[in-house]
Amino acid sequence: MNVEIQHADGRVELAAPDELAKSPLYNHDLAPVAVARRTWGTWDYAALWISMAHCIPTYTLAAAMIAQGMAWWQALGTILLGNLIVLAPILLNSHPGTKYGIPFPVFARAAYGTSGSNLPALMRALVACGWFGINAWIGGSALQTFFTSLWPGWRDLLGTGYPSWSIDPQTHRAIEFANTQWISFLLFWGLNVLIIFRGMDLLRRVERWAAPYVLVMTAILLGWAVHRAGGLGPILEQTSFHGDTSFFAVFVPQLTATIAFWSTLSLNMPDFTRFGSSQRGQMIGQTVALPSTMTVFAAMAIAITSATQVIYGHAIWEPIELAGKFESRWIVTIAMFTVVVATLAVNIAANVVSPANDFANAFPRKIDFKRGGLITGVLGIACMPWQLLADPGRYIGDWLGGYGAALGSIAGVLVVDYWIVRRTKLDLASLYKSDGAYRYLGGWNLPAVAATLAGTAVALLGKFWPPMQPIADWSWFVGFGLAGGSYWLLTRIVAR
């Protein structure tokens, strides 16, 4: 019997974790982190969120809101509110990581069963693969501009191509890509995989350095834009809603999309908090950094974009496009290096760590963290991110709204199971035993599975049945509430 050691600060570890080494549910990367190795403090978690928030998708997040009629302050208010809401499940699901030193898929075994945990883990992993591909394409585009700034002939060096499987949704014609674009994309992709193969310590160092660097460089860009435009520009002069529909009709789906933006991390923060030196440190770091950084960075993006409307005659929301307009080769080089650093930091932390663990959870004896990261990279390419990004409506509505419903359902089950059903008490050793307390029925906890599928199905109903469109607009909330409530009810029925 493996004895648990309960420390004075509430953290738990096993007296003899090596006794579980022969279990089919155990490998080194999924094993509980010893308390002596839990060294991440407040700044580490703050830096993690700052570096993840400083990315191109955050920079352009307000664009869709303003394009649909929101005033700048309404867009920022929506972003702030959405991040405050998603912060709640992030913190609730972070707690078991710090307390028990376990990653997300192992934590999910308590609610879903030792085999059933693969359902939420692989659902989360596939979403991460899509996000990995999106950010890898953005990072590759930055590298492409970076190389072109150093060598103007780079872009047309190998000609252009028209892949038959990449179609512009507006013109329905094949999209043209410079062939060197694919080289830049694969180089950035390889850089991500290389860092993952070096491990979490290198990731931690990258995040600590990238966080302040990107913020300082963006502030410099803001200062240049305001100085060059002689003010903040016309976007910031618009102070009221001016869309074709009502404000509420725009606000609700955009709020849901903002929540869905980080709903992935609301599940798998244990992948990071398992290294936390204290509950207080990880909670303060995340609470201070996430909502503030997302809002401030989006505000800087709005101000810069508003100034570009004065400077260039039209608003430029894409920082890569904006950097390409600079005349100085060195300024373009520095700007693109900043985009590469920002995209690399968010991609590895948000989109590789979790699926690497999730794939390892499915086959602990065959897939370790490194192989899981490689699988993530391959599937990220298979998702064809260039096609997804070609249609903003599909990106915001179908992509963010769709997976937000599914992940909201999982978050609801996990929060109810850990905080209400189990009152934060887990049998740490049994999480790694196929015949332990979390075996349930053949390794599956059917109430958790049923609640998750029901919550997801109802939340997505509006995307396929127009009369239920309001449900789709509230998809994350519907998934979270329905799945969490259903799971609580089913567990009470089963317990009788």
Span 285-296, average pLDDT: 95
Question: How many domains, in total, are found in the chain?
Answer: 1
- Alpha carbons within 13 angstroms on the beta-carbon side of residue 236 total 18
421-448 residue pLDDT tens: 999 999 999 999 999 999 999 999 999 9
Cα–Cα distance, 111 to 104 (Å, whole number)? 11
pLDDT, one tens digit per residue, over 329-378 is 788 888 888 888 888 888 888 888 889 999 999 999 899 888 999 999 99
- The whole-number average pLDDT for the span 103-113 is 97
The predicted pLDDT at position 212 comes to 83
Give 450-492 pLDDT, tens digit per residue.
999 999 999 888 777 878 777 878 888 999 999 999 999 999 9
Q: Which residue do the tokens 């189990």 mark?
A: 422
- DSSP code per residue over 410-426: HHHHHHIIIIIISTT--
Within 13 Å, how many C-alpha atoms sit on residue 267's CB side?
Answer: 38
Q: Residue 169: pLDDT above 60?
A: no
Q: Are 481 and 452 in contact (CB under 8 A)?
A: no
CB 225 within 8 A of CB 308: yes
Instruction: Quote the pLDDT of residue 400.
Output: 55
Query: Which sign, positive or negative, has the C-alpha torsion 300, 301, 305, 308?
Result: positive
Q: How far apart are CA 205 and CA 315, in angstroms?
A: 36
Q: Domain residues for 146?
A: 40-391
Amino acid (one-letter) located at 430: S
pLDDT score at 266: 93
pLDDT value at 79 more than 90: yes
Q: What is the pLDDT of residue 290?
A: 95
d(CA 309, CA 169): 26
User: Given this model, what pLDDT does residue 14 score?
Assistant: 94
Residue 118 lies inside a defined structural domain of this protein:
yes
The dihedrals phi and psi of 177, each to the nearest 5 degrees, come to -130, 135
The phi, psi pair for 13, rounded to 5°, reads -145, 165
Look at residue 455 and tell me if it is in a domain. no
Maximum CA pair distance of the chain? 73
- Confidence class for position 412, pLDDT limits 50, 70, 90: very high
Give a yes or no: residue 438 inside a domain.
no
Q: Give the Cα separation of 424 and 34 in Å (integer).
A: 19
pLDDT at 110 over 50: yes
What is the residue-wise DSSP string for 319-377?
HHHHHTT-S-HHHHHHHHHHHHHHHHHHHHHHHTHHHHHHHHHHSTTT--HHHHHHHHH
pLDDT tens profile 4-19: 999 999 999 999 988 8
Assign residue 364 the CATH number of its domain. 1.10.4160.10
pLDDT band at 168 (very low <50, low <70, confident <90, very high): low
Rounded percentage of the chain residues whose pLDDT exceeds 70? 93
Q: What is the number of alpha carbons within 13 Å of residue 330 lying toward its C-beta?
A: 0
List CB contacts of 49: < 8 A, sequence separation 6 or more: 285, 286, 289, 290, 293
**250 is a domain residue:** yes
- Pairwise CA distance, residues 19 & 37, whole Å: 19
Alpha-carbon Rg for the chain, nearest whole angstrom, is 23
**Domain assignment of residue 3, yes or no:** no
Pairing of strands 160-161, 4-6: unpaired
Predicted confidence band of residue 292 (pLDDT cuts 50, 70, 90): very high
Position 34 scores a pLDDT of: 95
pLDDT digits (tens, 9 = 90+) for 133-166: 988 998 998 899 889 888 889 988 888 765 545 6
Residue 325, pLDDT > 90, answer: no
Parallel/antiparallel/unpaired status of strands 160-161 and 12-14: unpaired
Instruction: Convert 314-338 to b/e letters by CB count within 10 Å (16 or more is b).
Output: ebbbebbebbbeeeeeeebbbbbbb
Q: How confident is the model at residue 208 (pLDDT cuts 50, 70, 90)?
A: confident
Q: Is the pLDDT of residue 108 over 60?
A: yes
**Of 128, 110, 117, nearest in space to 403 by CA:** 128
Question: Is residue 272, in this structure, part of any structural domain at all?
Answer: yes
Note whether 281 and 41 are within 8 A (CB): yes
Whether the per-residue pLDDT at 200 is higher than 70: the answer is no
| Contacts (Cβ under 8 Å, ≥6 apart) of 213 | 338, 341
Q: Is residue 135 part of a domain?
A: yes
Residue 373 corresponds to which amino acid? G
Does an H or E element contain 299, and which? helix 279-312
What span, in angstroms and rounded, lies between the C-alpha atoms of 408 and 477? 7
Give the pLDDT score at 164. Answer: 47
Q: pLDDT: is 384 or 398 the higher one?
A: 384
Contact of 274 with 31, CB cutoff 8 Å: no
Mean pLDDT score of the chain: 87
The confidence score (pLDDT) of residue 391 equals 62
How far is the CA of 213 from the CAs of 51, 174, 206, in angstroms?
9, 38, 11
